Amino acid sequence: MSDFTPTEMMTIAAARALRNDDVCFVGIGAPSAACNLARLTHAPDITLIYESGTIGTAPNVLPLSIGDGELCETALCTVSVPEMFRYWLQGGRITVGFLGGAQLDKYGNINTTVVGDYHKPKVRLPGGGGAPEIAISCGEIFITMKQSLRGFVEKLDFVTSLGHGKGGNDRAAHGVATKGPTRLITDLAVWEPDPETKEFTVTSLHPGVTREMVAGTVGWTARFADAVAETPAPTKEELEVLRDLHARTKAAHGGGSDA
């Protein structure tokens, strides 16, 4: 089966990065789809945690928000938000956090605060929520975003969530001991930070994607690994499970849920 969309490829590539023994802090939208796809395929024992305090949740449909009743109803337990952040997140008990954003730079720093000048912004975005804490407290961070010149920028208008800062050992210089962004999964490629500079570098192109397509949708000069692989195409099982999940979600909520 080769008929799949760029969004499906992105979601499936993100799901594959998760391990069965991961404790994963899940975001709404694309991260939620990826994490639950992993749970329904190769990682049945993964522990999914949502910001509202639900631990070990196993939703039958994708939640509309962190307050969706589906999360609490299917969780092993639900704790208070302060306990979630202080004991679970800041306590170092979460191995992977999923993040996205309005703007991203080549070092994995994220902006979800404002576009333009902070005091006179062109657009005021939803804000950081728990993302700044997730970015520094999870063992590592996976970022999922669709590539565009608007979103992939040379310089952020505001740094909401720390990635690798200015590159190199800048993250550690700020006293942050966790790994930070270790993978960026987009609709075109998989990127990983250079071991020395920490600049995101393309390590895998999705089927049918060219280097020119990738380079033309980022606001900096894209770097490519010495050996760039091709992302394995989605399997029949992965597509069927993902599409069934979206179909159940659409039926339950009465609208689209292909974020």
**51 is known as an active-site residue:** yes
Query: What are the phi and psi torsion angles at 225 (to 5°)?
Result: -65, 160
Please report the sign of the dihedral spanned by the C-alpha atoms of residue 161, residue 167, residue 170, residue 171. Answer: positive
Distance, CA of 251 to CA of 73 (rounded, Å): 18
Contact 54, 75 (CB under 8 A): yes
**3-state SS assignment for residue 190:** strand
Strands (DSSP E) contained in the chain are 23-26, 47-50, 54-55, 77-78, 96-99, 103-104, 110-111, 114-116, 121-124, 140-144, 181-185, 189-193, 200-205, 223-230
**3-state SS assignment for residue 235:** coil
Among the listed residues 8, 51, 133, 238, the single catalytic one is 51
**3-state SS assignment for residue 158:** coil
Distance, CA of 143 to CA of 14 (rounded, Å): 9
Strand partners, 143: 99, 184
Which DSSP string do the residues of 57-95 spell out, in sequence order? ---SS--SSTT-HHHHHHSSEE--HHHIIIIIITTT---
Residues labelled as active-site residues: 51
